[in-house]
Chain A
Amino acid sequence: MPYIPHTPEQVRDMLEVIGVASMDDLFADIPAELRPASFDLEPGLSEMEVCRRLETMAAKNRTNLTSFLGAGFYDHHIPKAIDPLAGRGEFATAYTPYQPEASQGTLQAVFEYQTAICRLLDMDAANASVYDGGSAMFEAMMMAVRSTKRTKLVVSEGLSPIYRIMLGSYTSNLNLELVTVPHAQGTTDIAGLIKAVDSDCAGVVVQNPNFFGTVHDFSELFAHAKAQKALSLMSVYPVLQSVLKTPGQMGADIAVAEGQSLGLPLSFGGPYLGVMSCTKKLLRQMPGRIAGRAVDAEGRTGYVLTLQAREQHIRRAKATSNICSNQALCALRALIHICLLGPEGLTRTAELSMERARYAARRLTAIPGVELLNDAPFGNEFAVTLPKSGYQVIDRLIAHDVVPGFPLGRYYHGLENGLLLACTEKHSFEDIGILAERIQGACQ
């Protein structure tokens, strides 16, 4: 058998040491009537056959399309140095660092990741990650509920609809009130949010850029929330955060993000990275694993998992969260990505993506019947209305190997003709030209 090293003689010896006659005696505790009637799996395949079968399945997917799909999940270039570094067995085959002396590599990397995230977002503290951007927002909401002891949350419709559905699902048994403030033609309705945030409100939840790609300054909203003793929760896009006003500058209490754009492949939805950061005041409310600096008896600096008394293995039913693992290897990828690009590389990535989006907007709006959904400032993603349904146009273009974007009608009634397009530094101006020509053709 592959990966099982014992020879038949060794197995015999080991059974003898144990004092049983056969392998089956080791399972005597499982009553005969509970033994499986069938275990109907194929025989094992060789390594070559497994690879061949999976390669065939991978080939059934088409990935060489020119795609403008984003909607919170972006196809940025991933520096090639990340794979060999994050793939090192010392990182990849370690467990959660319960024995800090034998895990300093992981712990220091997590500490550095926390620092990098805080500097990118202008926040005080970050955890060593949760599962994804949506579950991060759920955890942020629970932090707000715990620390304000209030149960109402005001959520902007500009927050990703995927996350809003997740929040609805996660909170279905928790007696919380989620109030949604509609978007205004694709912009976040700040005045409406201010009106909705009152002294019963635990927190206000917004996204920047919002789902439609528009960029906002939420300083006034957050100041209002603070006056109501409600917390300000913000979901951001890490790559653009190298140029956009930061959650910290706006006065956010908790900032979360989908970290996928920092060196993680799209990989059909995961594994991704839930970035989570907060002010120092809220640190103890933050769930998940957190690395902190420590010192040994000889005065050497090291790192440990700290503030563990918040966690499920000590607090059990009263823990801040049930979360137990983290996305350490994904966080490591994000850290390496940030370090390889540095401030200039990240800024350039954001700017290249934004300038391409502007070119795309100019080309598309030159097509008769195609208009921007609104005239608000945007980042690398924007929404247009088409003379036909978004789905229809997408259908037409996919046949020509172009995925022009995401149909807004999937989540927003009344925007059936809406199309959301994202650009990254990977799109050439030629790609965008082809996109414009195809859309023009499809709209005629």
Chain B
Amino acid sequence: MKTIFETSIPGRPGVWPDEPHKRAQDMLPAELLRGKKPDLPELSELDVVRHFTALSRLNFGVDTHFYPLGSCTMKYNPKHLEHVAALPGFTDLHPLAAQLKGAGQYTQGALEVMYELERLLCEITGMAAYTLHPMAGAHGELTGAMIIAAYHKKQGNQKTKVICPDSAHGTNPSSAAIAGFDVVNIESRDGIIDPAALAEVLDDETAALMMTCPNTLGLFEDHLQEIVAMLREKDALLYYDGANMNAIMGKLKVGDAGFDVVHLNLHKTFGTPHGAGGPGSGPVGVCEKLTPFLPISRVVKLEDGRYFLDYNHPDSIGYMAPFYGNFGVALKAYAYILRLGREGLIRVSEHAVLAANYLRKKLEHVLEIPFNRVCMHEFVASAVQQAEKGVRAVDIAKALLDKGHHAPTIYFPLIVKECLMVEPTETESRETLDLFVDDLVDILERADNYPEAVTGAPITMPVGRLDETKAARDMAVTWDLARELDEKQAQKPAPAADDA
């Protein structure tokens, strides 16, 4: 499809506001002006609508396809949440209005939403307090790691390192590093954390262990209680990566289980669509002793029932967001929790786990499942057997696209070769799950008999497999750089025949 820059017609009127009385050059000296208007597309509203509608049709989304992308919780997000988040009483609210004396009365509804959501998240996870400021999961990790650093600093502890299991998502070590920690990796055993391996590296300099539970293999960490005790002994904190919260609502309150810091991904568990990569929201909850370090501001409810923003926390790590986080996302999560309620959230986790185990059982005869036991909301299969015949996990993934299913996660976790990480979620019907199984079985049969039919996939998508190596070498990251490259290549003399 042509880029929008190629469809631009110079002079075509767009959705213009009225003509101003003064032009820029009448208002500012020339040396402060750009001189030439930016070279941006000139299109009618219809041109724009057609272009983006056409682009949208090149995408898979949960609304259009089954999307069993492991660790991402691609569940269906009810549409009324969009209505709620689009209420002008929320969208038109300037964030600074809440910070003006006397204007707090004009933002009471928004502050109430934040206060109430924090309260609900505390109850769901057993934490003492939450901040909604982190704007994504990784941002929550960074916030959590900074809270851990601030706590140890305040305690006078000399803590330099954070331990991450090898099954951890790559953001864990990377967030810990930005919070100033050295990262120590430990190897898993039987797919979960091995207390013996932990004991080897755990020492007085250990600030925290970052854990995902259930972990990225979809397995519950069986040694959790032992690990909690080991950490407590060294005044090391236990961090909970909430990527997999969808598995345990009502079944485990992480605060009660001994976790000190937790981040949640509202966009995974609590009803917000992923938006092709964002915006998300990654609230962080802490146990009582860590509350002084939460980012500011914090929402407080006064005795008279009014809400206000409290900035008076001298030990706070400061501002993680310009304001109060991705409020629009938090709104949807709040409405989602209200809608489902106690029983609903428990059912979400039960059915998420049910669906994952159902698929695991249906597929265990055709794919290797390295840690084949009752899993939580997802499981990891491996295409090692198929790889011996030249059909790799990536090939199976691409063949699934041709069948009309989004592929499972295949680049992660790093500890399983040729992994296919499958998370069906609670919102998919049994019919969809069965269809997925039938289609996957069919692909695996073809992988046995006609491997090239699988390695050549996809054939029904707008494009086939793209040359990522060439793309990384070319670095054509804008249309202008792409054109520059094309011109350069057009000027190059054609290679002589004997070079070819």
Contact = CB atoms under 8 A, between A and B. Distances in A.
- Assess A/B contact in the complex (Cβ within 8 A): yes
A312 to B, nearest CB: 4
Nearest to B69: A95
Contact of A36 (B16, B256, B350): B256
Contact of A88 (B53, B141, B427): B53
Interface stretch (B197-205, B231-239, B336-344): B336-344
Contact of A312 (B1, B170, B250): B170
B146 A306 contact: no
A374 interface: no
B450 interface: no
Interface residues of B, number: 209
Interface in B130-151: 135-139, 141-142, 146, 149-150
Contact of B409 (A73, A94, A98): A98
A298 interface: yes
B57 interface: yes
Interface stretch (A75-83, A192-200, A224-232, A430-438): A75-83
Contact of A398 (B103, B126, B141): B103
Nearest to A67: B94
B17 A352 contact: yes
Given A270-B135, A270-B323, A62 B51 contact: no
B32 A18 contact: no
Contacts of A375: none
Contacts of A43: 341-343
Contacts of A131: 135-136, 139, 278-279, 321
Residue with the greatest number of chain A CB neighbours at <10 A, chosen from B57, B177, B361, B478: B478
Contact of A267 (B93, B224, B341): B93
B341 A41 contact: yes
A425 B22 CA distance: 13
Given A45-B341, A244-B34, A377-B28, A31 B225 contact: yes
A306 to B, nearest CB: 5
B107 interface: yes
B291 to A, nearest CB: 17
B80 A268 contact: no
Contacts of A103: 58-60, 276
B401 A101 contact: yes
A81 B48 contact: yes
B88 A3 contact: no
B330 to A, nearest CB: 9
Contacts of A338: 40-41
Contacts, number: 696
B27 A342 contact: no
A275 interface: no
B466 A347 contact: no
A414 interface: no
Nearest to B327: A268
A58 B88 contact: yes
B435 interface: no
Contacts of A14: 354-355, 358, 430
B111 to A, nearest CB: 9
B411 A98 contact: yes
A177 interface: no
Given A30-B220, A39-B250, A339-B4, A344 B354 contact: no
> Looking at chain A, what size class is its interface with the partner chain?
35 or more
A4 B3 contact: no
A35 B346 CA distance: 12
B438 interface: no
A27 B357 CA distance: 11
B470 to A, nearest CB: 7
Interface stretch (A151-159, A166-174, A178-186): A166-174
A28 B374 contact: yes
Contact of B465 (A53, A101, A172, A293): A101
A37 B342 contact: no
A55 B41 CA distance: 38
Contacts of A2: 78, 339-340, 344
Contact of B324 (A28, A169, A270): A270
Nearest to A55: B87
Interface in B445-471: 458, 461-468, 470-471
B157 interface: no
Interface string B305-341: 0000000000001111111111111010011011111
Closest 5 CB pairs of A and B: A58-B89, A269-B323, A89-B63, A44-B341, A169-B318
Contacts of B39: 119, 343
Given A14-B358, A95-B69, A6 B351 contact: yes
B328 to A, nearest CB: 5
Nearest to A160: B322
Contact of A322 (B102, B138, B472, B481): B138
B220 A95 contact: no
Interface string A194-234: 00000000000000000000011100000000000000000
Contact of B40 (A35, A51, A323, A346): A346
B287 interface: no
A176 to B, nearest CB: 11
22 contacts: A5-B428, A6-B351, A54-B84, A91-B276, A104-B1, A104-B55, A118-B478, A120-B40, A133-B322, A172-B318, A174-B180, A244-B34, A267-B90, A270-B329, A280-B481, A292-B475, A293-B476, A297-B467, A317-B174, A322-B174, A342-B14, A343-B39
A21 interface: no
B500 interface: no
A349 B49 CA distance: 21
A342 B339 contact: no
Given A292-B471, A327-B278, 4 more contacts: A33-B225, A131-B278, A325-B280, A340-B43
B256 A267 contact: no
Interface string A339-373: 11111111111111011001000000000000000
B102 A341 contact: no
Given A91-B56, A267-B93, A349-B17, A59 B175 contact: no
Contacts of B18: 348, 352
A407 B57 CA distance: 47
